[in-house]
Structure 1
Amino acid sequence: MTTHYDDEAQVEQLRAWWKENWLALVAGLVIGLAAIFGWEGWQHHKEKRAADASQMYEELKDALSANKTDVAKPLADKLTAEFADTPYAADAELRVAAQAEQAGNYEDAAKALQWVRDHAKDKGLQQVATLRSARILWQQGKLDDALKLAEANKSEAFAPLFDELTGDIKLAKGDRKAARSDYQKAYDATPEDQPSRQLLQRKLDDLSETEPS
Protein backbone atom coordinates (compact mmCIF):
# COMPACT_ATOMS: atom_id res chain seq x y z
CA MET A 1 0.00 0.00 0.00
CA THR A 2 1.37 3.38 -1.06
CA THR A 3 1.71 5.88 1.77
CA HIS A 4 1.68 9.66 1.76
CA TYR A 5 5.37 9.48 2.54
CA ASP A 6 5.97 7.39 -0.60
CA ASP A 7 4.07 9.91 -2.74
CA GLU A 8 6.13 12.80 -1.42
CA ALA A 9 9.35 10.86 -1.95
CA GLN A 10 8.43 10.21 -5.58
CA VAL A 11 7.56 13.86 -6.11
CA GLU A 12 10.89 14.94 -4.61
CA GLN A 13 12.68 12.40 -6.75
CA LEU A 14 10.91 13.73 -9.87
CA ARG A 15 11.80 17.30 -8.93
CA ALA A 16 15.43 16.35 -8.48
CA TRP A 17 15.49 14.55 -11.81
CA TRP A 18 13.86 17.49 -13.56
CA LYS A 19 16.34 19.90 -12.00
CA GLU A 20 19.22 17.85 -13.33
CA ASN A 21 17.81 17.10 -16.77
CA TRP A 22 15.51 19.96 -17.78
CA LEU A 23 18.22 21.71 -19.78
CA ALA A 24 18.96 18.62 -21.84
CA LEU A 25 15.26 18.04 -22.47
CA VAL A 26 14.67 21.62 -23.58
CA ALA A 27 17.78 21.53 -25.77
CA GLY A 28 16.61 18.30 -27.38
CA LEU A 29 13.19 19.81 -28.04
CA VAL A 30 14.72 22.91 -29.59
CA ILE A 31 17.02 20.84 -31.78
CA GLY A 32 14.14 18.63 -32.86
CA LEU A 33 11.94 21.58 -33.77
CA ALA A 34 14.85 23.26 -35.56
CA ALA A 35 15.43 20.12 -37.60
CA ILE A 36 11.76 19.91 -38.56
CA PHE A 37 11.44 23.55 -39.53
CA GLY A 38 14.90 23.51 -41.11
CA TRP A 39 13.90 20.58 -43.34
CA GLU A 40 10.65 22.26 -44.29
CA GLY A 41 12.54 25.45 -45.05
CA TRP A 42 15.04 23.60 -47.20
CA GLN A 43 12.26 21.85 -49.09
CA HIS A 44 10.54 25.17 -49.68
CA HIS A 45 13.84 26.65 -50.88
CA LYS A 46 14.36 23.79 -53.34
CA GLU A 47 10.80 24.05 -54.64
CA LYS A 48 11.11 27.80 -55.13
CA ARG A 49 14.45 27.42 -56.96
CA ALA A 50 12.95 24.80 -59.25
CA ALA A 51 9.93 26.99 -59.94
CA ASP A 52 12.12 30.03 -60.66
CA ALA A 53 14.36 28.02 -62.97
CA SER A 54 11.37 26.51 -64.77
CA GLN A 55 9.79 29.91 -65.35
CA MET A 56 13.06 31.33 -66.63
CA TYR A 57 13.48 28.34 -68.94
CA GLU A 58 10.00 28.84 -70.41
CA GLU A 59 10.79 32.52 -71.00
CA LEU A 60 14.00 31.50 -72.76
CA LYS A 61 12.13 29.07 -75.04
CA ASP A 62 9.62 31.78 -75.94
CA ALA A 63 12.44 34.22 -76.70
CA LEU A 64 14.23 31.73 -78.93
CA SER A 65 10.98 30.88 -80.74
CA ALA A 66 10.55 34.58 -81.44
CA ASN A 67 14.20 34.76 -82.51
CA LYS A 68 14.91 37.25 -79.73
CA THR A 69 18.47 36.17 -79.00
CA ASP A 70 19.14 39.41 -77.13
CA VAL A 71 16.51 38.32 -74.61
CA ALA A 72 17.41 34.64 -74.57
CA LYS A 73 21.14 35.07 -73.95
CA PRO A 74 20.84 36.87 -70.57
CA LEU A 75 18.29 34.26 -69.44
CA ALA A 76 20.65 31.43 -70.39
CA ASP A 77 23.53 33.16 -68.61
CA LYS A 78 21.46 33.55 -65.44
CA LEU A 79 20.38 29.91 -65.54
CA THR A 80 23.96 28.69 -65.82
CA ALA A 81 25.17 31.10 -63.16
CA GLU A 82 22.44 30.64 -60.55
CA PHE A 83 20.74 27.35 -61.42
CA ALA A 84 23.58 25.24 -62.76
CA ASP A 85 22.50 22.30 -60.58
CA THR A 86 19.11 22.08 -62.29
CA PRO A 87 18.42 20.34 -65.63
CA TYR A 88 17.01 23.61 -66.97
CA ALA A 89 20.48 25.12 -67.30
CA ALA A 90 21.82 22.35 -69.54
CA ASP A 91 18.64 22.26 -71.63
CA ALA A 92 18.83 26.03 -72.05
CA GLU A 93 22.41 25.85 -73.31
CA LEU A 94 21.48 23.11 -75.78
CA ARG A 95 18.71 25.30 -77.16
CA VAL A 96 20.99 28.34 -77.34
CA ALA A 97 23.57 26.23 -79.16
CA ALA A 98 20.99 25.01 -81.68
CA GLN A 99 19.87 28.57 -82.38
CA ALA A 100 23.45 29.75 -82.81
CA GLU A 101 24.29 26.81 -85.08
CA GLN A 102 21.31 27.52 -87.32
CA ALA A 103 22.47 31.12 -87.61
CA GLY A 104 25.99 29.99 -88.49
CA ASN A 105 27.43 31.31 -85.22
CA TYR A 106 29.55 28.22 -84.63
CA GLU A 107 31.78 29.75 -81.97
CA ASP A 108 28.80 30.68 -79.79
CA ALA A 109 27.28 27.26 -80.35
CA ALA A 110 30.54 25.55 -79.40
CA LYS A 111 30.76 27.55 -76.15
CA ALA A 112 27.23 26.63 -75.13
CA LEU A 113 27.83 22.96 -75.89
CA GLN A 114 31.10 22.98 -73.96
CA TRP A 115 29.23 24.22 -70.90
CA VAL A 116 26.86 21.26 -71.16
CA ARG A 117 29.74 18.83 -71.55
CA ASP A 118 31.44 20.27 -68.46
CA HIS A 119 28.46 20.83 -66.15
CA ALA A 120 25.45 18.70 -67.10
CA LYS A 121 24.58 16.10 -64.46
CA ASP A 122 22.94 13.85 -67.03
CA LYS A 123 25.38 11.68 -69.02
CA GLY A 124 22.96 11.56 -71.92
CA LEU A 125 22.96 15.34 -72.24
CA GLN A 126 26.75 15.31 -72.14
CA GLN A 127 26.80 12.81 -75.00
CA VAL A 128 24.37 14.89 -77.04
CA ALA A 129 26.53 17.97 -76.49
CA THR A 130 29.69 16.08 -77.49
CA LEU A 131 28.06 14.74 -80.64
CA ARG A 132 26.89 18.19 -81.64
CA SER A 133 30.29 19.70 -80.82
CA ALA A 134 31.96 17.24 -83.18
CA ARG A 135 29.37 18.03 -85.84
CA ILE A 136 30.13 21.73 -85.54
CA LEU A 137 33.86 21.07 -85.98
CA TRP A 138 33.00 19.07 -89.10
CA GLN A 139 30.88 21.93 -90.44
CA GLN A 140 33.79 24.29 -89.80
CA GLY A 141 36.06 22.05 -91.85
CA LYS A 142 38.09 20.96 -88.84
CA LEU A 143 37.86 17.32 -89.86
CA ASP A 144 40.70 15.89 -87.80
CA ASP A 145 39.49 17.62 -84.62
CA ALA A 146 35.92 16.51 -85.29
CA LEU A 147 36.95 12.89 -85.84
CA LYS A 148 39.15 12.83 -82.75
CA LEU A 149 36.38 14.21 -80.53
CA ALA A 150 33.75 11.83 -81.88
CA GLU A 151 35.87 8.69 -81.68
CA ALA A 152 37.19 9.48 -78.18
CA ASN A 153 33.76 10.02 -76.60
CA LYS A 154 31.58 7.39 -78.24
CA SER A 155 29.30 5.56 -75.79
CA GLU A 156 27.33 2.39 -76.38
CA ALA A 157 23.95 4.08 -76.07
CA PHE A 158 24.83 6.72 -78.66
CA ALA A 159 27.11 4.54 -80.81
CA PRO A 160 24.92 4.59 -83.97
CA LEU A 161 24.80 8.39 -83.98
CA PHE A 162 28.54 8.67 -83.47
CA ASP A 163 29.22 6.02 -86.14
CA GLU A 164 27.10 7.91 -88.64
CA LEU A 165 28.91 11.14 -87.84
CA THR A 166 32.37 9.58 -88.12
CA GLY A 167 31.21 8.12 -91.44
CA ASP A 168 30.28 11.62 -92.63
CA ILE A 169 33.64 12.99 -91.52
CA LYS A 170 35.65 10.18 -93.12
CA LEU A 171 33.71 10.61 -96.34
CA ALA A 172 34.57 14.33 -96.26
CA LYS A 173 38.21 13.30 -95.83
CA GLY A 174 37.93 11.11 -98.92
CA ASP A 175 38.08 7.75 -97.13
CA ARG A 176 35.06 6.09 -98.73
CA LYS A 177 35.80 2.59 -97.47
CA ALA A 178 36.06 3.71 -93.85
CA ALA A 179 32.95 5.85 -94.24
CA ARG A 180 30.97 2.91 -95.59
CA SER A 181 32.16 0.75 -92.68
CA ASP A 182 30.94 3.30 -90.13
CA TYR A 183 27.62 3.75 -91.93
CA GLN A 184 27.13 -0.01 -91.92
CA LYS A 185 27.81 -0.22 -88.17
CA ALA A 186 25.34 2.58 -87.55
CA TYR A 187 22.75 0.93 -89.81
CA ASP A 188 23.08 -2.46 -88.13
CA ALA A 189 22.66 -0.93 -84.65
CA THR A 190 19.64 1.22 -85.56
CA PRO A 191 16.15 -0.29 -85.02
CA GLU A 192 14.14 -0.85 -88.19
CA ASP A 193 11.36 1.53 -87.14
CA GLN A 194 13.72 4.50 -86.83
CA PRO A 195 13.61 7.06 -89.70
CA SER A 196 17.37 7.49 -89.40
CA ARG A 197 17.80 3.92 -90.66
CA GLN A 198 16.37 4.92 -94.05
CA LEU A 199 18.84 7.79 -94.27
CA LEU A 200 21.69 5.45 -93.46
CA GLN A 201 20.50 3.06 -96.16
CA ARG A 202 20.57 5.90 -98.69
CA LYS A 203 24.10 6.80 -97.64
CA LEU A 204 25.16 3.19 -98.09
CA ASP A 205 23.41 3.01 -101.48
CA ASP A 206 25.06 6.22 -102.64
CA LEU A 207 28.49 4.82 -101.85
CA SER A 208 27.69 1.53 -103.57
CA GLU A 209 26.41 3.26 -106.69
CA THR A 210 29.51 5.40 -107.04
CA GLU A 211 32.09 2.72 -106.21
CA PRO A 212 34.70 2.53 -108.98
CA SER A 213 34.44 -0.65 -111.02
Structure 2
Amino acid sequence: MSAVGGDEQLENLKSFTKKYGSSMITGILIALIAFFGWEYWQKKNLAASQMQTAKVQQLMDDANTNPGDAYGKLIETADKIYKEAPDSAQAIQTQLVMAKLAYDKQDYAAAEKALKKVENSKVDDAGLVHVVKLRLAYSQLAQKKYDAALKTLDAVTDPAFKATADEARGDIYVAKNETENAKKAYQSAWDALIERKEERQILQIKLESVGVLVEDPEIERPIIDTAVEATE
Protein backbone atom coordinates (compact mmCIF):
# COMPACT_ATOMS: atom_id res chain seq x y z
CA MET A 1 0.00 0.00 0.00
CA SER A 2 1.41 3.45 -0.99
CA ALA A 3 1.89 6.31 1.48
CA VAL A 4 -0.59 8.36 -0.52
CA GLY A 5 -3.17 5.59 -0.41
CA GLY A 6 -2.67 5.18 3.36
CA ASP A 7 -3.03 8.93 3.97
CA GLU A 8 -6.20 8.97 1.90
CA GLN A 9 -7.73 6.08 3.89
CA LEU A 10 -6.78 7.81 7.17
CA GLU A 11 -8.47 11.02 6.03
CA ASN A 12 -11.58 9.04 5.00
CA LEU A 13 -11.68 7.38 8.44
CA LYS A 14 -11.32 10.78 10.16
CA SER A 15 -14.12 12.17 8.01
CA PHE A 16 -16.35 9.16 8.81
CA THR A 17 -15.62 9.49 12.53
CA LYS A 18 -16.37 13.20 12.49
CA LYS A 19 -19.63 12.65 10.63
CA TYR A 20 -21.02 9.68 12.60
CA GLY A 21 -19.23 9.99 15.93
CA SER A 22 -16.62 7.88 17.70
CA SER A 23 -19.24 5.92 19.68
CA MET A 24 -20.57 4.39 16.47
CA ILE A 25 -17.06 3.39 15.40
CA THR A 26 -16.55 1.72 18.78
CA GLY A 27 -19.87 -0.08 18.39
CA ILE A 28 -18.89 -1.40 14.96
CA LEU A 29 -15.57 -2.66 16.29
CA ILE A 30 -17.29 -4.40 19.23
CA ALA A 31 -19.77 -5.98 16.83
CA LEU A 32 -16.97 -7.25 14.59
CA ILE A 33 -15.06 -8.65 17.56
CA ALA A 34 -18.25 -10.32 18.82
CA PHE A 35 -18.93 -11.81 15.38
CA PHE A 36 -15.47 -13.26 14.90
CA GLY A 37 -15.42 -14.44 18.50
CA TRP A 38 -18.76 -16.23 17.92
CA GLU A 39 -17.46 -17.73 14.68
CA TYR A 40 -14.38 -19.03 16.48
CA TRP A 41 -16.55 -20.46 19.27
CA GLN A 42 -18.78 -22.22 16.72
CA LYS A 43 -15.82 -23.75 14.91
CA LYS A 44 -14.23 -24.83 18.18
CA ASN A 45 -17.44 -26.47 19.38
CA LEU A 46 -18.08 -28.08 16.00
CA ALA A 47 -14.63 -29.65 16.14
CA ALA A 48 -15.25 -30.84 19.71
CA SER A 49 -18.65 -32.24 18.71
CA GLN A 50 -17.14 -34.10 15.76
CA MET A 51 -14.47 -35.55 18.04
CA GLN A 52 -17.12 -36.72 20.54
CA THR A 53 -19.17 -38.25 17.72
CA ALA A 54 -16.10 -40.14 16.51
CA LYS A 55 -15.61 -41.52 20.03
CA VAL A 56 -19.24 -42.69 20.17
CA GLN A 57 -18.88 -44.36 16.77
CA GLN A 58 -15.75 -46.14 17.97
CA LEU A 59 -17.63 -47.28 21.07
CA MET A 60 -20.42 -48.68 18.91
CA ASP A 61 -17.94 -50.44 16.65
CA ASP A 62 -16.22 -51.99 19.67
CA ALA A 63 -19.59 -53.10 21.03
CA ASN A 64 -20.38 -54.87 17.75
CA THR A 65 -17.00 -56.57 17.47
CA ASN A 66 -16.89 -57.69 21.12
CA PRO A 67 -20.44 -58.85 21.86
CA GLY A 68 -19.41 -61.20 24.66
CA ASP A 69 -18.31 -58.92 27.47
CA ALA A 70 -18.58 -55.59 25.68
CA TYR A 71 -20.29 -53.92 28.62
CA GLY A 72 -17.45 -54.59 31.04
CA LYS A 73 -14.81 -53.59 28.50
CA LEU A 74 -16.48 -50.36 27.42
CA ILE A 75 -18.00 -48.93 30.60
CA GLU A 76 -14.88 -46.88 31.42
CA THR A 77 -14.78 -45.37 27.94
CA ALA A 78 -18.51 -44.65 28.04
CA ASP A 79 -18.25 -42.90 31.40
CA LYS A 80 -15.38 -40.77 30.09
CA ILE A 81 -17.41 -39.62 27.08
CA TYR A 82 -20.35 -38.83 29.37
CA LYS A 83 -18.26 -36.83 31.85
CA GLU A 84 -16.63 -34.77 29.08
CA ALA A 85 -20.02 -33.44 27.92
CA PRO A 86 -22.91 -34.74 30.07
CA ASP A 87 -25.58 -32.68 28.29
CA SER A 88 -24.58 -33.61 24.75
CA ALA A 89 -26.26 -35.87 22.21
CA GLN A 90 -23.11 -38.00 22.23
CA ALA A 91 -23.43 -38.60 25.98
CA ILE A 92 -26.99 -39.83 25.46
CA GLN A 93 -26.01 -42.05 22.54
CA THR A 94 -23.22 -43.55 24.62
CA GLN A 95 -25.52 -44.39 27.52
CA LEU A 96 -28.12 -45.84 25.14
CA VAL A 97 -25.43 -48.18 23.79
CA MET A 98 -24.41 -49.19 27.30
CA ALA A 99 -28.02 -49.71 28.33
CA LYS A 100 -28.60 -52.02 25.36
CA LEU A 101 -25.48 -54.02 26.17
CA ALA A 102 -26.64 -54.36 29.78
CA TYR A 103 -30.18 -55.25 28.71
CA ASP A 104 -28.90 -57.91 26.31
CA LYS A 105 -27.15 -59.66 29.20
CA GLN A 106 -30.27 -59.24 31.35
CA ASP A 107 -28.56 -56.82 33.73
CA TYR A 108 -31.58 -54.53 33.89
CA ALA A 109 -30.30 -52.63 36.93
CA ALA A 110 -27.17 -51.63 34.98
CA ALA A 111 -29.33 -50.58 32.03
CA GLU A 112 -31.44 -48.41 34.34
CA LYS A 113 -28.32 -46.86 35.88
CA ALA A 114 -26.91 -45.95 32.46
CA LEU A 115 -30.17 -44.35 31.31
CA LYS A 116 -30.72 -42.43 34.53
CA LYS A 117 -27.44 -40.60 33.93
CA VAL A 118 -28.96 -38.86 30.92
CA GLU A 119 -32.66 -39.00 31.83
CA ASN A 120 -32.74 -35.26 32.58
CA SER A 121 -30.20 -34.13 30.00
CA LYS A 122 -30.42 -30.48 28.94
CA VAL A 123 -29.48 -31.36 25.38
CA ASP A 124 -31.38 -29.40 22.72
CA ASP A 125 -33.13 -32.50 21.39
CA ALA A 126 -36.36 -33.38 23.22
CA GLY A 127 -36.92 -36.44 21.04
CA LEU A 128 -33.64 -38.01 22.11
CA VAL A 129 -34.50 -37.44 25.77
CA HIS A 130 -37.91 -39.08 25.25
CA VAL A 131 -36.20 -42.12 23.73
CA VAL A 132 -34.11 -42.37 26.91
CA LYS A 133 -37.24 -42.22 29.07
CA LEU A 134 -38.99 -44.91 27.04
CA ARG A 135 -35.98 -47.25 27.29
CA LEU A 136 -35.71 -46.44 31.00
CA ALA A 137 -39.35 -47.39 31.56
CA TYR A 138 -38.76 -50.81 29.97
CA SER A 139 -35.65 -51.41 32.06
CA GLN A 140 -37.72 -50.63 35.15
CA LEU A 141 -40.52 -52.90 33.92
CA ALA A 142 -38.00 -55.73 33.54
CA GLN A 143 -37.14 -55.28 37.22
CA LYS A 144 -40.86 -55.21 38.18
CA LYS A 145 -40.56 -51.58 39.23
CA TYR A 146 -44.02 -50.95 37.84
CA ASP A 147 -44.84 -47.68 39.58
CA ALA A 148 -41.42 -46.22 38.76
CA ALA A 149 -41.88 -47.20 35.11
CA LEU A 150 -45.30 -45.54 34.95
CA LYS A 151 -43.89 -42.39 36.54
CA THR A 152 -41.08 -42.35 33.96
CA LEU A 153 -43.63 -42.55 31.16
CA ASP A 154 -45.57 -39.60 32.60
CA ALA A 155 -42.59 -37.45 31.56
CA VAL A 156 -42.96 -38.51 27.90
CA THR A 157 -45.12 -35.60 26.81
CA ASP A 158 -44.26 -35.11 23.14
CA PRO A 159 -47.31 -36.07 20.99
CA ALA A 160 -44.97 -37.83 18.54
CA PHE A 161 -44.21 -40.41 21.25
CA LYS A 162 -47.76 -40.78 22.61
CA ALA A 163 -48.50 -44.10 20.92
CA THR A 164 -45.19 -45.63 22.03
CA ALA A 165 -45.67 -44.41 25.60
CA ASP A 166 -49.25 -45.70 25.76
CA GLU A 167 -48.18 -49.08 24.41
CA ALA A 168 -45.48 -49.23 27.09
CA ARG A 169 -48.11 -48.38 29.72
CA GLY A 170 -50.22 -51.24 28.41
CA ASP A 171 -47.27 -53.61 28.77
CA ILE A 172 -46.77 -52.47 32.37
CA TYR A 173 -50.45 -52.92 33.24
CA VAL A 174 -50.42 -56.40 31.72
CA ALA A 175 -47.45 -57.26 33.96
CA LYS A 176 -49.44 -55.90 36.93
CA ASN A 177 -52.49 -57.97 35.91
CA GLU A 178 -54.52 -54.76 35.53
CA THR A 179 -56.33 -55.82 32.37
CA GLU A 180 -58.78 -52.93 32.16
CA ASN A 181 -56.01 -50.34 32.41
CA ALA A 182 -54.03 -52.30 29.82
CA LYS A 183 -57.01 -52.23 27.43
CA LYS A 184 -57.35 -48.44 27.78
CA ALA A 185 -53.63 -47.84 27.25
CA TYR A 186 -53.40 -50.15 24.22
CA GLN A 187 -56.58 -48.67 22.72
CA SER A 188 -55.18 -45.15 23.10
CA ALA A 189 -51.99 -46.26 21.35
CA TRP A 190 -54.03 -47.97 18.62
CA ASP A 191 -56.09 -44.85 17.94
CA ALA A 192 -52.94 -42.75 17.62
CA LEU A 193 -51.33 -45.21 15.20
CA ILE A 194 -54.49 -45.45 13.09
CA GLU A 195 -54.57 -41.67 12.82
CA ARG A 196 -50.91 -41.54 11.80
CA LYS A 197 -51.19 -44.64 9.57
CA GLU A 198 -48.18 -46.29 11.17
CA GLU A 199 -47.19 -49.94 11.61
CA ARG A 200 -49.47 -51.59 14.21
CA GLN A 201 -49.66 -55.37 13.76
CA ILE A 202 -47.80 -56.08 17.02
CA LEU A 203 -50.11 -53.75 18.92
CA GLN A 204 -53.12 -55.49 17.37
CA ILE A 205 -51.87 -58.78 18.79
CA LYS A 206 -51.39 -57.17 22.21
CA LEU A 207 -54.94 -55.82 22.14
CA GLU A 208 -56.32 -59.22 21.23
CA SER A 209 -54.32 -60.78 24.07
CA VAL A 210 -56.33 -58.67 26.54
CA GLY A 211 -59.61 -59.46 24.82
CA VAL A 212 -60.00 -56.50 22.48
CA LEU A 213 -60.67 -57.20 18.80
CA VAL A 214 -59.96 -54.08 16.77
CA GLU A 215 -60.85 -53.39 13.17
CA ASP A 216 -57.97 -52.14 11.09
CA PRO A 217 -59.25 -50.05 8.17
CA GLU A 218 -56.37 -51.28 6.05
CA ILE A 219 -56.80 -54.97 6.96
CA GLU A 220 -60.07 -56.79 6.21
CA ARG A 221 -60.04 -58.82 9.42
CA PRO A 222 -57.98 -59.12 12.62
CA ILE A 223 -54.48 -60.45 12.02
CA ILE A 224 -54.92 -63.49 14.31
CA ASP A 225 -58.07 -64.64 12.47
CA THR A 226 -56.23 -64.32 9.17
CA ALA A 227 -53.33 -66.37 10.50
CA VAL A 228 -55.64 -69.14 11.75
CA GLU A 229 -57.50 -69.25 8.43
CA ALA A 230 -54.21 -69.56 6.53
CA THR A 231 -53.22 -72.67 8.50
CA GLU A 232 -56.50 -74.55 7.97
**Structure 2 stretches lacking a partner, 5+ long:** 1-10, 15-21, 214-232
- 2:59 corresponds to: 60
- State the match for 2:137 in structure 1: 134
SS in structure 2 opposite 1:119?
Answer: coil
Tell me if the contact between 1:63 and 1:69 (Cα under 8 Å) persists in the aligned partners: no
Please state whether the residue corresponding to 1:208 is helix, strand or coil: coil
Instruction: Name the TM-score, length of structure 1 as normaliser.
Output: 0.74
Map 1:61-210 onto structure 2 (within 5 A).
61-66=60-65, 67=67, 68-121=70-123, 122-150=125-153, 152-155=154-157, 156-191=159-194, 193-195=197-199, 197-208=200-211
Distance of 2:167 and 2:37 partners within structure 1: 51
- C-alpha separation between the residues in 1 aligned to 2:122 and 2:34? 31
CA distance 1:35–1:145, change in 2 (3 Å) = closer
Deviations 1:167-187 (A, max 9, x none): 111122222122112111111
How far residue 49 of structure 1 moved from its aligned partner, in angstroms, is 0.6
**Cα deviation, residue 109, structure 1:** 0.9
Superposition CA RMSD, Å:
3.0
Unaligned runs of 5+ in 1: 1-13, 18-23
Indicate conservation of the 8 Å contact 1:147/1:166, yes or no. Answer: yes
Structure 2 counterpart of 1:118, one-letter code: N
Greater helix share, structure number: 1
Contact 1:138 1:169 in 2 (8 A): yes
TM superposition shift of 1:199: 0.9
Opposite residue 172 of structure 1, the aligned amino acid is A
What is the total number of aligned residue pairs between the two structures? 187
TM-score by length of 2: 0.68
CA deviation map 1:13-46 (0-9, x unaligned): x8xx9xxxxxx9xxx6997886576445434422
Does the aligned pair in 2 maintain the 1:163–1:183 contact within 8 Å? yes
| Structure-2 separation of matches of 1:120 and 1:31 | 31
Q: How far apart are the structure 2 equivalents of 1:153 and 1:131?
A: 9
CA distance in 2, matches of 1:160, 1:48: 37
Amino acid at match of 1:182: A
1:146 Cα deviation from its structure 2 partner: 2.1
Residues 163 and 188, structure 2, Cα contact 8 Å, conserved in 1: yes
* Identity rate, percent: 33
* Equivalent-residue separation in structure 2 for 1:198 and 1:141 (angstroms): 26
Q: Partner of 1:7 in structure 2?
A: none
Aligned letter for 1:141? K
Q: Is the 8 A contact 1:63 1:71 kept in 2?
A: no
Q: C-alpha offsets along residues 73-101 of structure 1, whole Å, 9 cap, x if unaligned?
A: 22221221113343111111111111111
| Larger Rg belongs to | 1
Within 2, Cα distance between the matches of 1:166 and 1:105?
Answer: 22
